[in-house]
């Protein structure tokens, strides 16, 4: 099965509790190979009030969490039956499994949070072939020359007008071949 991202609807204001319960259920039922990451999409906003600077964490989508999982029957059952979960987005109901988020959709959400859907430590290595799927070099295939894990960027060698050229791309702009 392929690990993809799904949007799960929760009771509003219960996102943290649902995340915690789902992670506990995943561990207690030995489903770590099927349910990988549970994320509450949040951004940090700086607010200045009466001359005092405060950072405020704001939910991007109140009442929703993101779950990276493979859609096996067992994983689907565990997520659906976690207390506080009201269902999946993209499911027509009647026992139909939901539609995952497109890579571009999850990449944008995770990039706003300073994260990436690609696990650089386990999924990317210098010398790997990648396809560039976004930006000015979209459609080109190259080889990873270096990885900047702190900034979620890659230097990729591509063939540009018959000459090998290094371009810098963000992780969400590539797919591993």
Q: Which two tokens stand for residue 140?
A: 């080109």
The CA R_g of the chain, rounded to the nearest whole Å, is 19
Task: Give the pLDDT of residue 174.
Answer: 82
* pLDDT tier, 8 (very low <50, low <70, confident <90, very high otherwise): very high
Query: Residue 33 and residue 169: Cα distance in Å, rounded?
Result: 30
Q: Which domains does the chain have, with CATH numbers?
A: 4-117 (3.30.70.940), 121-176 (2.30.30.30)
> Which residues, 6+ apart, have CB-to-CB distance to 82 below 8 Å?
18, 21, 22, 25
Query: Residue 19 and residue 39: Cα distance in Å, rounded?
Result: 7
Q: Are 151 and 168 in contact (CB under 8 A)?
A: no
Average pLDDT over residues 7-32: 94
Task: Give the pLDDT of residue 166.
Answer: 92
28 closest CA partner among 84, 88, 82? 82
Alpha helix positions (H), the chain: 15-28, 73-80, 103-112, 120-123
* pLDDT tier, 122 (very low <50, low <70, confident <90, very high otherwise): low
* pLDDT tier, 120 (very low <50, low <70, confident <90, very high otherwise): low
Distances in whole angstroms, Cα of residue 71 to Cα of each of 5, 15, 64, 133: 10, 21, 18, 25
pTM above threshold 0.85: no
- pLDDT at residue 119 above 70? no
Q: Are 34 and 69 in contact (CB under 8 A)?
A: yes
Q: Are 142 and 160 in contact (CB under 8 A)?
A: no
Query: Residue 109 and residue 62: Cα distance in Å, rounded?
Result: 14
């Amino acid at each position: 099965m392929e690990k993809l991202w799904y949007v799960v609807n929760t009771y509003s204001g219960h996102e943290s509790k649902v995340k915690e319960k789902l992670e506990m259920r995943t561990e207690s039922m030995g489903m770590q190979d099927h349910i990988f990451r549970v994320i509450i999409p949040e951004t940090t906003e700086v607010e200045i009030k009466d001359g005092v600077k405060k950072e405020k964490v704001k939910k991007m989508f109140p009442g929703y969490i993101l779950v990276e999982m493979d859609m096996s029957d067992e994983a689907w059952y565990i997520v659906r039956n976690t207390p506080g979960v009201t269902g999946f987005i993209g499911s027509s109901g009647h026992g139909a499994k939901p539609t995952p988020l497109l890579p571009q959709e999850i990449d944008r959400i995770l990039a706003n949070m300073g994260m990436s859907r690609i696990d650089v430590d386990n999924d990317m290595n210098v010398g790997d072939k990648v396809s560039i799927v976004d930006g000015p070099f979209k459609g080109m295939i190259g080889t990873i020359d270096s990885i900047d894990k702190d900034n979620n960027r890659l230097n990729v060698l591509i063939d540009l007008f018959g000459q090998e050229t290094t371009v810098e791309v963000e992780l969400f702009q590539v797919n591993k071949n």
